[in-house]
Chains A and B, each alone.
Chain A
Amino acid sequence: MISTSIKKIFFYIFLLCFASSATIANESNAEAFVLKLSNEAKVIFNDKALGKGDRLKKLNELSLKYLDLDALASYTLGDYREKISAQEKEVFNKLFKEYFIKNMSSKLNDFSDQELKITASKQINENNIIVQTKIFSKKEAHEINVDWRIFSKDNKLLARDLVVEGLSLARTQKEEFASIIASKGFSGIVTALEAFNKAN
């Protein structure tokens, strides 16, 4: 009787250790992933010889490798994603990806002079790990907190969101799209994305 209980205790301790070591492994993998992603992005932004077209091409390749743009596109539609057809979703995803990459190219233009330091990471549920970083600007002598939402699926890691000083870029985008859909419908968001992509 006693030996069964002891066996059970050992079994639970083993499970606990296994689970916590798996979590630690996931967190350190996510940290390495963020470092690799930011280093590769930095190489693109530091390459002053790259023309606008080549830079966008390289950013597109980087996005395919590291970002979960299909999930992000789906998230930004909010509940509206359930109301559109598969064909409309396909059109939206294509436009959104182009918009996102052009948007990112402009937003991260000043990234070249900045240093990234990982401060912590935490697996918040089965598939999501938050990697907390500080980005230090040499020119401005100030640092900002940037958290990365990393999604883990089938042993593959993909970034889904950036949270800058507590402000989620994905959520801001979702609320912006929701406002356009509320006033102009789904065609409104398609028109706005098409206009942006054409102008930039």
Chain B
Amino acid sequence: MKKTLIAIIFITLFSSKTGFAAVEDLPDCNEGLNRSIFSFNMSVDKYFFKPIAEAYVVLPVELRSGINNALLNIDATLTVPNQILQGKFSQAAITTSRFLINSTVGILGIFDPATAFGIEKTNREDYGQTMAAWGIGHGCYAVIPFLGPSSPRDGIGRIMGVYGDYFYWITAGHRTVAGENLGDTVYWTDKGLEIINYRSQNLKSAENLEKNSLDLYASYKSLYLQRRENLIRDIKNSPSQYGADEGEWKKIR
């Protein structure tokens, strides 16, 4: 137990300094099965998630913006432990202060006064990203029913994300933390809104992709891999993100 703890502390302190230089490989070991689940997911989306998202975008922009802010604020309860596990202690402090300010002054996170005070958003972190930062590989590409593109590492990360999220402990079940439990309804409302909010933000781009893609399954796989790479390497919207693919462009004159 003591050795495991020392190993975790060691990895935590040094993992963030090693970085990720190369693009990760994501072999599609069960492509046939994955394609079948992908088709199933697309049908579920077409008849269930997409119509709800289309109805959701009818709501006023201000309301949707408030919901989006509140959801991002709750995300902090998952991001902070992962920032700590990755040795990003200063970012964990920033995320915590943003959470405290936005949950109180910002009325349950609906508004974002922290940004107005000059405390900028940090990158979102989850257990899949933490495992990647610790040097654990993706494994094979896997499409999960209802949830979409993933990998064994991110799948395990998702499960850990349920139990390793402070928000879960103060909402779901009958457990109490410091005598508090907000109830299952709060938990499931948050999770439901998260899906609808995400889907509504991607209505047009998903529609375009469906219309113009020659192999939709491959496009979704590529987008998933790129998104995860960006999150893991914390380099979204930075020119340094182009380093990984630069070799390929250099071959083209």
| Interface residues in chain A, defined as those with a beta carbon under 8 Å from any beta carbon in chain B | 71, 74-75, 78, 102-103, 106-107, 110, 120, 122, 124-125, 128, 130, 132, 140-142, 145, 147, 149, 160, 163-168, 171-172, 174-180, 189, 192-193, 196
Contact = CB atoms under 8 A, between A and B. Distances in A.
Given A103-B212, A106-B208, A141 B218 contact: no
Contact of A166 (B204, B237, B248): B237
A58 B237 CA distance: 31
Contact of A107 (B212, B223, B235, B236): B212
Contacts of A165: 236-237
Given A71-B252, A75-B248, A145-B237, A193 B214 contact: yes
Given A75-B252, A107-B212, A110-B204, A130 B222 contact: no
A166 B226 contact: yes
Contacts of B222: 171-172, 175-176
Contacts of B237: 132, 145, 147, 165-166
A166 B211 contact: no
Given A172-B226, A179-B217, A130 B252 contact: no
* Consensus secondary structure, chain B interface: helix
A74 B253 CA distance: 10
B214 A168 contact: no
A173 B211 CA distance: 14
Contacts of A167: 223, 226-227, 230
Given A147-B237, A166-B227, A124 B246 contact: yes
A130 B249 CA distance: 13
The 10 A-B pairs at the shortest CB distance, nearest first, are namely A179-B218, A175-B222, A122-B239, A166-B230, A166-B236, A130-B239, A176-B218, A192-B214, A172-B222, A103-B212
Interface residues of B, number: 34
B40 interface: no
Given A168-B245, A192-B215, 15 more contacts: A71-B253, A75-B249, A102-B212, A106-B212, A122-B239, A124-B239, A125-B246, A128-B249, A130-B239, A130-B242, A163-B241, A172-B219, A172-B223, A174-B248, A196-B212
